[in-house]
Amino acid sequence: MSDDRDLVVLGTGMHPWGKWGRNFVEYGLVAAREALADADVAWRDIEFVAGADTIRNGYPGFVSGSTFSQALGWTGAQISSSYAACASGAQALQSARAQLLAGFADVAMVIGADTTPKGFFAPVGGERKEDPDWQRFHLLGATNPSFFALNARRRIDVFGDTPEDFAMVKVKNSKAAVHNPYARFRKEFTLEDFASSPIVSDPLRLLDVCATSDGAAALIVCTPEYAKRKLGTLEGTVRIKAVANTTPTYPQVRLELPDIATDSRAVVAPPALGFKDSIAHNAYEQAGLGPDDISCAEVYDLSTALELDWYENLGLCAEGEGAKLVRDGVTALGGRVPVNASGGLSSFGEAIPAQAIAQVCELTRQLQGRCEGHQVEGASVGLAINQGLFGHGSCTILAT
């Protein structure tokens, strides 16, 4: 993709992650106002509002674009509301991006916030026996941690990974989160802490699995023309080079939540790229970049073992070699390609509509050199990747 399709991230804002149980709109307003102040843009000047939806906070969560617009004060702005489970924030960013590239607006806000229940996510209410998400809970009892454990067991059996490899991911991420004011858990954990952590779903311990959290994130994105009028120059601005929202290709032969069975490969051969490999691949194609260009990445570490998968899906190493990267310090701060320098979801927890937006906030600040205490030195290209239920894969690439 040529540079004339780039957009500029003009401002970022977040509400610290935690567990307070207040109205999700409160968190969103904090993030929105911080992003507006960071961009030095007045709310009345925002032409498009792209909300990422939450489905656990009643009707206001289903129409988040409208909810946040009303809370900030009606201005007549255009809106959208997007839901794609954990990829909702990236879908909202894509919605704003489409409006800006089409010329329907010059400056937009992307926003998501959540208030989550205690414990792991339960099935959405109602008897929907044809719904794969209902089926995996009611037929198998397959909560998210049990699925993560199956994936971890696969890595142990197929690649020879060990529980200590998984622990090293948590240790690495917790060390980075100590200096991140937005992270919920800001304690540096050791391997000894890990060993005393209770088993949740064998082989995963409590410290292997990310929590559910409250939180919010917002972005102000604009066209390069708008940014140049605002700033007087585009020098040093952070550009959105790619936003890829990707579905699997049939047959899908690797089990992914919430499905409880895979497609058959009896007649049709599997695609050259599996689903999670294709998510990053499509973003690389858009941006005209590759794995060797990445300075840092924020990946969707719902469990420590899943982070190792992402190293391989991003092309940072060959399949089965993810554990070697964490053992060698390649993905730690100061390593060749720091991953989850924010602390990752293991240090934040899941605030579903906000997390993909928060990844972009973190990367923007990394590329601007604004992450004191957890800064990736010389960062110039950042990649954020995550996955929502039902085949929503998303990947965003930023560059200066």
- pTM here is 0.96
Residues 34 and 79 in one domain: yes
Residues 203 and 233 in one domain: no
Mean pLDDT calculated for residue range 264-289: 95
Mean pLDDT calculated for residue range 148-176: 97
Question: Is the residue at 125 inside a domain?
Answer: no
Which pLDDT score is estimated for 238? 98
Which pLDDT score is estimated for 1? 46
Mean pLDDT calculated for residue range 137-162: 93
Residues 20 and 77 in one domain: yes
Residues 331 and 220 in one domain: no
Residues 190 and 233 in one domain: no
Which pLDDT score is estimated for 242? 97
- CB–CB of 36/11 below 8 Å? yes
Assess whether pLDDT exceeds 70 at residue 2: no
Tally of domains within the chain: 2
**Residue 150, domain CATH:** 3.40.47.10
Question: Is the residue at 127 inside a domain?
Answer: no
- The residue count of the chain comes to 400
Residues 227 and 253 in one domain: no
Assess whether pLDDT exceeds 60 at residue 295: yes
Which pLDDT score is estimated for 389? 87
CA angle 349, 352, 353 (to 5 degrees): 135
Residues 28 and 109 in one domain: yes
Q: What is the mean pLDDT of the chain?
A: 95
Backbone angles phi, psi at 369, to 5 degrees: 70, 35
Residues 262 and 318 in one domain: yes
The residue segments making up the domain with residue 23 are 3-119+214-238
Residues 180 and 203 in one domain: yes
Mean pLDDT calculated for residue range 217-228: 98
The predicted-structure confidence for 312-365, as pLDDT tens digits, reads as follows 999 999 999 999 999 999 999 999 999 999 999 999 999 999 999 999 999 999
- CB–CB of 296/339 below 8 Å? yes
Assess whether pLDDT exceeds 70 at residue 292: yes
Q: What percent of the chain stands above pLDDT 90? A: 88
Residues 251 and 273 in one domain: yes
Which pLDDT score is estimated for 140? 86
Question: Is the residue at 128 inside a domain?
Answer: no
Question: Is the residue at 135 inside a domain?
Answer: no
Assess whether pLDDT exceeds 80 at residue 3: no
Question: Is the residue at 68 inside a domain?
Answer: yes
Question: Is the residue at 131 inside a domain?
Answer: no
Instruction: Return d(Cα 247, Cα 392) in angstroms, integer.
Output: 6
Q: Which residue has the tokens 């890595």?
A: 155
H or E element at residue 80 = strand 78-82
DSSP string, 106-164: SEEEEEEEE---SSSPPPPSS--TT-HHHHHHHTT---HHHHHHHHHHHHHHHH---HH
CA dihedral for 389, 392, 397, 398, sign (positive or negative): negative
